[in-house]
Structure 1
Amino acid sequence: MGNLDPTQSAWPASPPASVEARREALYLVLAQVPAGKVVSYGELARLAGLGRAARWVGRTLGQLPDGTRLPWHRVLGAGGRLSLAAGTPAGDEQRARLRAEGVGILNDRVDIRRHGWRPTEHNG
């Protein structure tokens, strides 16, 4: 999928009603996050038209099937904090994937100013 055109919003004006629609909106936006960029759970919820549903986003991403092609590893806690613990399979995989994409990690944080995804800037 290409970058979203900010003049033609792909995000719903109001939160989707069903769980399936909410999940689909989340996946649509998550699929747009390019390699080397990250987004917070809260920002992802906002971009998907889900309001302040950061915790719901986290729970939903934690239930993705094995082998998913969605870039779940690019979603971080507020302020660029890695929320998956180092030393766990998911935490270690997230760190390895981010580093492979050129995302630096220092003290379990990513520099949001450098690596944060801003779709309206078309920074790919």
Structure 2
Amino acid sequence: MTKRDGPSKYELIWETVRQVPRGTVATYGEVAEQSGFPGQPRLVGYALHHLPRGTDVPWHRVINAQGKISLPREDGTYVIQKQLLQGEGIVFARERIDLNRFGWLRRSKKQFHSRRHHR
């Protein structure tokens, strides 16, 4: 597929990340799967690393499968990512986010199942 035939892999990933709502997070693996690249979480990392300046993609909402920020804690971007997430109401416990509580796809499934059971 050439650039003219449609969006690039990175653009597909960025579009998926744009769908992650405020106050929730997604893992690299979840974003990869939702973007059509199952089993390729590193591709998501590469795509986020290559975001253009001034982007509207909420990169800070993507974390690793352990519920942690993947950057080294000494990295200034780690601090920025943590502050952005906390500003959206996401709670850290021992530098970890509860994916069952704040996970985008997990919350969506819970809400879907609870709506089905209440009808």
Classify the TM-score, shorter chain. 0.7 to 0.9
Identity of aligned residues (%): 35
Query: 1:61 pairs with 29, 38, 48, which one?
Result: 48
Gaps of 5+ in 2: 112-119
Q: What is the aligned residue count? A: 107
The runs of at least 4 consecutive aligned structure 1 residues that moved more than 2 Å come to 17-21, 119-123
1:29 is matched with which residue?
A: 16
Distance 1:55 1:32 in 2: 19
Relative to structure 1, the CA distance from residue 112 to residue 18 in structure 2 (aligned partners, 3 Å threshold; closer, same or farther) is farther
1:100 is matched with which residue?
A: 87
Q: Which has the larger radius of gyration?
A: 2
2:28 is matched with which residue?
A: 41
Per-residue CA deviation, residues 26-73 of structure 1 (Å, 9 max, x unaligned), is: 111111000100000011000001121101111110121232111100
1:114 paired to 2:111? no
Contact 2:72 2:78 in 1 (8 A): yes
Gaps of 5+ in 1: 1-16
The structure in which a higher percent of residues are helix is: 2
Counterpart residue identity of residue 38, structure 1: V
How far off is 1:122 after superposition? 8.9
Q: Calculate the TM-score normalised by the size of structure 2.
A: 0.80
Q: Calculate the TM-score normalised by the size of structure 1.
A: 0.77
Relative to structure 1, the CA distance from residue 107 to residue 48 in structure 2 (aligned partners, 3 Å threshold; closer, same or farther) is same
1:50 is matched with which residue?
A: 37
Distance 1:122 1:112 in 2: 12
The CA RMSD measured in Å over matched residues stands at 2.0
Identify which of structures 1 and 2 has the higher relative contact order when contacts are C-alpha pairs closer than 8 Å and 6+ apart.
1
Which one is further off, 34-43 or 81-90? 81-90
